[in-house]
């Protein structure tokens, strides 16, 4: 029922606000790579497929939207991340590099991989605090990173050369998937955090 509930929300949400507003609303969707709360701008890597189960974050250049002034604070609790794809077959991660304004493919040396890991599994969920464990987990002294992908249901640990550990922690994290509703290019009327409602997993 939870999945069906949010499917209905995703379909009906734009319709609830489209009548009587003057002009047809459009939607855009992508992974959040930058959020400037002061200037109220967000930057997304657009999902070329718009497929929640099999996304394709390979659209460049990134798209930036200015948020309307009436956004509530709860709508602005957003997670930024630069990880676009975790490929445990090729042992590589694709990240977005904001300095280069381009994607980078980083090869890693795998140490461990566990599949079919549900979000309630004790490996990724703290049963005492009832909260997810730290993800990604970065161990700089050992040059190791552990990532859990909820969508792929994979928990993997790998090593990287030392130079990569100078990158910010959110490099290895997946940003929230955001659906934007707009009429004028670059100006968001509303947003829907699809990751938060549990429809899209990182």
Whether 53 and 95 share a structural domain = no
Burial 130-167 (b: 16+ CB within 10 A, else e): eeeeebbebeeeeebbbbbbbbbbbbbbbebeeebbee
Whether 154 and 185 share a structural domain = no
Question: Does any domain span residue 53?
Answer: yes
Its pTM stands at: 0.84
Whether 69 and 110 share a structural domain = no
Contact 31, 57 (CB under 8 A): yes
Confidence (pLDDT) at 54: 79
Question: Does any domain span residue 114?
Answer: yes
Instruction: Quickly list DSSP for 116-147.
Output: S--TTSTTTEETTTTEEPPSSEEETTTTEEEE
Contact 132, 122 (CB under 8 A): no
Question: Does any domain span residue 199?
Answer: no
Record the tokens describing residue 152, joined without a space: 């792929």
Over 80: is that where the pLDDT of 99 sits?
yes
- Tens of pLDDT, residue by residue over 16-49, are 444 445 568 899 999 999 999 889 999 999 998 8
User: How many domains is the chain built from?
Assistant: 2
Over 70: is that where the pLDDT of 1 sits?
no
Question: Does any domain span residue 201?
Answer: no
CATH code, domain carrying 29: 2.40.50
- Tens of pLDDT, residue by residue over 80-89, are 999 999 999 9
User: What range does the domain containing 13 cover?
Assistant: 2-78+175-193
Whether 92 and 158 share a structural domain = yes
Confidence (pLDDT) at 75: 62
Whether 36 and 111 share a structural domain = no
Residues constituting the chain: 202
Whether 96 and 168 share a structural domain = yes
Question: Does any domain span residue 202?
Answer: no
Range in 17-26, 108-117, 189-198 with the lowest mean pLDDT: 17-26
Whether 139 and 180 share a structural domain = no
pLDDT-based confidence at residue 14 (cuts at 50, 70, 90)? very low
Distance CA 131, CA 125 (A): 6
Contact 32, 176 (CB under 8 A): yes
Return the higher-pLDDT residue of 46 and 50: 46
Whether 43 and 95 share a structural domain = no
Question: Does any domain span residue 111?
Answer: yes
Average pLDDT of the chain is 87
Whether 150 and 179 share a structural domain = no
Whether 23 and 60 share a structural domain = yes
Confidence (pLDDT) at 180: 94
Whether 140 and 188 share a structural domain = no
- Tens of pLDDT, residue by residue over 162-190, are 999 999 999 999 999 999 999 999 999 98
Whether 157 and 92 share a structural domain = yes
First to last CA, the chain: 21
Distance CA 160, CA 172 (A): 12
Distance CA 58, CA 84 (A): 8
Q: What percent of the chain has pLDDT over 90?
A: 70
The neighbour count for residue 190, using CB atoms within 10 Å, is 18
- Tens of pLDDT, residue by residue over 123-150, are 999 999 999 999 999 999 999 999 999 9
Question: Does any domain span residue 142?
Answer: yes
């Amino acid at each position: 029922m939870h999945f069906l509930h949010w499917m209905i929300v995703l379909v009906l949400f734009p319709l609830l606000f489209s009548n009587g507003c003057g002009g047809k609303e459009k939607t855009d969707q992508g992974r959040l790579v930058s959020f400037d709360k002061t200037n109220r701008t967000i930057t997304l890597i657009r999902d070329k497929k718009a497929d929640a189960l099999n996304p394709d974050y390979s659209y460049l250049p990134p798209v930036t939207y200015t948020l309307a002034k009436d956004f509530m604070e709860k709508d602005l609790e957003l997670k930024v991340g630069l990880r676009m794809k975790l490929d445990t077959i090729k042992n590589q991660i694709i990240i977005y590099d904001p300095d280069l304004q381009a994607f980078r493919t980083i090869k890693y040396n795998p140490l461990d991989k566990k599949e079919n890991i549900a979000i309630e599994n004790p490996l990724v969920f703290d049963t005492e605090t009832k909260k997810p464990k730290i993800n990604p987990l970065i161990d700089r002294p050992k040059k190791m990173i552990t990532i859990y992908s909820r969508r792929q249901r994979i928990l993997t640990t790998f090593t990287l050369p030392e130079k990569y550990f100078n990158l910010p922690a959110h490099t290895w994290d997946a940003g929230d998937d955001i659906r934007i509703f707009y009429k004028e290019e670059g100006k968001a009327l509303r947003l829907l955090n699809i990751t938060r409602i549990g429809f899209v997993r990182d």
